[in-house]
Amino acid sequence: MRSGTHYSAGHSMYSLAKKLLFTLSGEAAHQLALESLDAAAHLRLIKPFVEPMLQAPVQVMGLTFPNAVGLAAGLDKNADHLNSLGQLGFGFIEVGTVTPRPQPGNPKPRLFRIPEQEAIINRMGFNNKGLNHLLAQVQKRRYSGLLGINLGKNLTTPVDRAVDDYLLGLEGVYPQADYITVNISSPNTPGLRSLQYGEALKDLLKPLKEAQARLADFHQRYVPLVVKVAPDMNDEELHSLAATLRELKLDGVIATNTTLDKSAVAGLKHGDEQGGLSGRPLTEASCLITRKLTEALEGELPIIGVGGIFSAEDAVERIKAGASLIQLYTGFIYRGPGLISECAEAIAAIND
Ligand SMILES: Cc1cc2nc3c(=O)[nH]c(=O)nc-3n(C[C@H](O)[C@H](O)[C@H](O)COP(=O)(O)O)c2cc1C
């Protein structure tokens, strides 16, 4: 059972912090929240206010996840906040997207909150400090939980040479990661999403699977390779994608990234900003893609469900749609760390 005092103290602290943070611009608020979290961790102030990590182990991709709720990619792009985020009770954390070379991303402002719909539009554009920085951070981590590392390509690398960047990323992170994500679904790197389909997908994934086999042999450790997909797919695209993932024996799929469908936020402040939409408006679309992928993959690849998960009910529905694990991003921003144990407990209850 949830211990009332800890939960409510942590919860009201979060409500207050959120009120203050939401007065700042989107990106400044994110940055300040992460820095405050680091400071709180440093002062050993996190543990008294959050639930201890729920232990409800799930076996997926040959790994034992202590619980089914992870942090999605993009909040800690450089693995700079791994130690403090690692104290919040997530069953796993995914860092990145990291590109081989550092890059600034798009000009600011590039992150917009739409509170009326509990949504965010972002067009960050893979701002990150590059592979070497991320590796240095990961190597000196104190976080001992499961770590996913999410790979992308630099803006200046042509789409038809994208494989070069993913190979560099794969080789670099292989010894450090528990699983590795090939992110080909960000809407903010021109042409990236075209890699999700047809021959382009095969031409990308085949060399990556070959490299994975070589690296597994060399390091004597098999690190699962998963692909992160967009929610904006028609049925034909989804079936062709699923067939390729099965044929090439990918180890899993993360569904989904942000959507380009902004109909839910039309007319609202920032509703017409360019970029990908996340949060509440994505719940149904992501869940539907998960359900369709479950069918198309026929159990051959596990699914990590992400997109618009804001409550225990959303988490349970995603698992019932066929996901083995879930991830949080926008729900975590709007609801706070209490959402982690809420979802983990609900999933544990159905898995029992
Ligand atoms: C500000 C922001 C930055 C993101 N950056 C990344 C990223 O670098 N790589 C990635 O794979 N997904 C990224 N995402 C997508 C999330 O990981 C997640 O797939 C998506 O937001 C849907 O989940 P949500 O509705 O819970 O936020 C980002 C999302 C947001 C809001």
Q: List, for residues 72-87, the tens digit of each pLDDT value.
A: 999 999 999 999 999 8
Atom 18 of ligand 1 has which residue's CA nearest to it? 257
Residue 20 pLDDT > 80: no
Whether residue 30 lies inside any domain: the answer is no
- Digit-coded pLDDT (tens) for 305-331: 999 999 999 999 999 999 999 999 999
Confidence band (pLDDT; 50, 70, 90) for 249? very high
* Interval between CA 73 and ligand 1 midpoint (Å): 6
- What's at 223, amino acid-wise? V
Q: What pLDDT score was predicted for residue 33? A: 83
Q: Which atom of ligand 1 is nearest to the CA of 279?
A: 25
* Interval between CA 5 and ligand 1 midpoint (Å): 32
- Digit-coded pLDDT (tens) for 213-243: 999 999 999 999 999 999 999 999 999 999 9
Chain position carrying tokens 């942090």: 71
* The three-state (H, E, C) secondary structure of the chain, written as one string: CCCHHHHHHHHHHHHHHHHHHCCCCHHHHHHHHHHHHHHHHHCCCCHHHCCCCCCCCEEECCEEECCCEEECCCCCCCCCCHHHHCCCCCCEEEEEEECCCCECCCCCCCEEEEHHHCEEEECCCCCECCHHHHHHHHHCCCCCCEEEEEECCCCCCCHHHHHHHHHHHHHHHCCCCCEEEEECCCCCCCCHHHHHCHHHHHHHHHHHHHHHHHHHHHHCCCCCEEEEECCCCCHHHHHHHHHHHHHCCCCEEEECCCECCCHHHCCCCCCCCCCEEEEHHHHHHHHHHHHHHHHHHCCCCCEEEECCCCCHHHHHHHHHCCCCEEEECHHHHHHCCHHHHHHHHHHHHHHC
Whether residue 18 lies inside any domain: the answer is no
- Digit-coded pLDDT (tens) for 269-306: 999 999 999 999 999 999 999 999 999 999 999 999 99
* Interval between CA 72 and ligand 1 midpoint (Å): 6
Confidence band (pLDDT; 50, 70, 90) for 165? very high
Nearest to 59 by CA among 224, 197, 205: 224
Q: What pLDDT score was predicted for residue 2? A: 41
* Interval between CA 75 and ligand 1 midpoint (Å): 7
Atom 28 of ligand 1 has which residue's CA nearest to it? 74
Whether residue 24 lies inside any domain: the answer is no
Q: Can you tell me the mean pLDDT for 19-27?
A: 67
Indicate the number of domains in the chain. Answer: 1
What amino acid positions are annotated as catalytic residues? Answer: 186
Q: What is the mean pLDDT of the chain?
A: 92
Q: Can you tell me the mean pLDDT for 194-202?
A: 89
Distance CA 303, CA 333 (A): 23
Whether residue 115 lies inside any domain: the answer is yes
Pocket test for ligand 1, best of 131, 193, 278, 317 (most atoms within 8 A of CB): 278
Q: Can you tell me the mean pLDDT for 81-109?
A: 95
Q: Which atom of ligand 1 is nearest to the CA of 126?
A: 8
Q: Which residues line ligand 1 (CB under 6 A)?
A: 72-74, 77, 97, 111, 120, 122, 124, 150, 183, 186, 228, 257-258, 278-279, 282, 306-309, 328-331
Whether residue 185 lies inside any domain: the answer is yes
CATH code at 81? 3.20.20.70
Which residues constitute the domain of residue 171?
53-351
pTM: 0.95
* Interval between CA 219 and ligand 1 midpoint (Å): 30
Q: What pLDDT score was predicted for residue 10? A: 62
